[in-house]
Amino acid sequence: MPEVNFDSIVGPTHNYAGLSPGNVASTRHRGETARPREAALQGLAKMAALHELGVAQGVLPPQERPSVALLRALGFAGRDHEVIGRAAREDPVLLARASSASSMWAANAATVSASDDCADRRVHLTVANLRTMLHRAIEAPQTERTLRAVFADETRFVVHPALPSADVLGDEGAANHTRLHASGADPDGTPGIDLFVHGRAEGDPRRPKLHPARHALEASQAVARRHGLDPARVVFALQDPRAIDAGVFHNDVIAVGHGPLLLHHELAFADRDEVLAALRARVGPSFRAVEVKSARVPIESAVKSYLFNSQLVWSPGVGRVLIAPTESQEDPATRAEIDRLVADPSVPIAAVRFMNLRESMRNGGGPACLRLRVPLTEGEWGAVASGCRFSASLHERLSSWVRRFYRESIDPRDLADPSLLDESRAALDELTRILGLGSIYEFQR
């Protein structure tokens, strides 16, 4: 029974606009020339690599960008091309916000609970409101439509709309949620343990000084309630504010879990000892926390190399594999630590595979950001929209679709070109046919 990774396809407007303060890579690469075609092909190559490792793989479509709807809501009027032209002249930053391909980071699309963990034994998904950054806050309505199309069977799936958009309910989705399990990550009829991580909580003075804490405890509590999780099987943990100030804007930049294993940096949690003790008590004796000390991998190296944004997956015949970005191969401290972890027989990681995801990485999106983990039984996996199940032939169709519709490069000035909207719509229209999803986009209605 599979734990499925649903990766989002990188959208045709992929660019570097420096929109996310607190995300070091986004700020560093602002204004550079992006390569959307290469970005989308790199993402598809990761999906193919996991599929070949025997890991169940799903596909999610990107969102329509630029968002003419956002620009209209903010007062730009006229026909679609005029709206874009006006925004380009009057407020290019706003146009960049309306043009980001940020929905590629599917770990922020929603928080997902396995049917084994939910009171009504259905899979629950809550769309993330992503309210801290405008370019991400506009994702929620389309994410909800998309998830409803992919997880349409209401006897098995419940898709909840995003939480109300308020500071106290800031929700960044599964990037701040890890499902641990005493045996493996695949649903086996017994419940798992949910670790929800937040950057701030009402009444708690511990907050980062430099960068925004995007995720609120109160959002995680609401999601746990909505999904009908057993409070005795849930752990809430505050991120170490020093980590956020060093560029750890989501927990998946500093920790990754799989089955009974939690791989984390020393600075991941503010109350580390209490958090690990609570997890050990709930997961049971098989729980294994592997901590990477700052002395071995300084927080700056962890943020630069994105070691903890690796995926941990189970490959039949191989065992647990770390899917790491090539940047972590190039950073000497990180590389040495990975070699040490894989060689250590007491660490349940059998092998490492390095993936080139440079285009997404330059915006702060590594392997784990690009995927939404959905633990499913065989029956539930069979009920997911069939066109979204990754296969070698789908890989081929999607690769040639990318080559046909995507631009080689986009630099910030290109966002003023209204033909990008037409190209993007033509691409997405064709994509909904390939994936068999029907008319999920506003422009198709």
Which of 71, 159, 253, 420 touches ligand SUG by CB under 6 A? 253
User: Which CA distances in Å does 418 have to 74, 95, 392, 436?
Assistant: 18, 11, 34, 28
Residues contacting 412, CB < 8 A, separation 6+: 15, 16, 17, 31, 92, 96
Closest CA to 260 of 345, 346, 349, 182: 182
Closer residue to ligand SUG, CB minimum distance, 16 or 157? 16
User: For ligand SUG, what does the binding mask look like between residues 57 and 96, x meaning CB under 6 A?
Assistant: ----------------------------------------
Order of strands, sheet of 157-160, starting from the edge strand that comes earlier in the sequence: 110-113, 123-127, 157-160
Instruction: Name the DSSP class of 147.
Output: H
* Cβ-contact 362, 411 below 8 angstroms: no
**Residues with a known catalytic role:** 172, 250, 369
* Cβ-contact 24, 309 below 8 angstroms: no
Which of 6, 16, 354, 405 touches ligand SUG by CB under 6 A? 16
Instruction: Name the DSSP class of 121.
Output: S
By CB under 6 A, is residue 312 in contact with ligand SUG? Answer: no
Number of residues that bind ligand SUG (CB under 6 A): 22
Residues in region 104-133 near ligand SUG by CB under 6 A:
105, 107-108
Order of strands, sheet of 177-180, starting from the edge strand that comes earlier in the sequence: 177-180, 193-198, 234-238
By CB under 6 A, is residue 12 in contact with ligand SUG? Answer: no
Closer residue to ligand SUG, CB minimum distance, 100 or 328? 100
By CB under 6 A, is residue 102 in contact with ligand SUG? Answer: yes
User: For ligand SUG, what does the binding mask look like between residues 354 and 383, x meaning CB under 6 A?
Assistant: ---------xxx---x--------------
Closer residue to ligand SUG, CB minimum distance, 116 or 359? 359
Question: Cβ 20 to ligand SUG, closest distance in Å?
Answer: 3
By CB under 6 A, is residue 143 in contact with ligand SUG? Answer: no
Residues in region 173-202 near ligand SUG by CB under 6 A:
175
Which of 116, 186, 194, 252 touches ligand SUG by CB under 6 A? 252
* Cβ-contact 321, 350 below 8 angstroms: yes
Instruction: Name the DSSP class of 33.
Output: P
Question: Cβ 71 to ligand SUG, closest distance in Å?
Answer: 17
By CB under 6 A, is residue 328 in contact with ligand SUG? Answer: no
- Report the alpha-carbon distance of residue 269 to residue 265 in Å, rounded: 9
**204-210 CB contacts, 8 Å cutoff, 24+ apart:** 204/238, 206/238, 206/241, 206/270, 207/241, 208/22, 208/241, 208/242, 208/244, 208/245, 209/241, 209/245, 210/22, 210/245
By CB under 6 A, is residue 24 in contact with ligand SUG? Answer: no
Residues contributing to the site for ligand SUG (CB under 6 A): 16-20, 23, 26, 100, 102, 105, 107-108, 136, 175, 249-250, 252-253, 363-365, 369
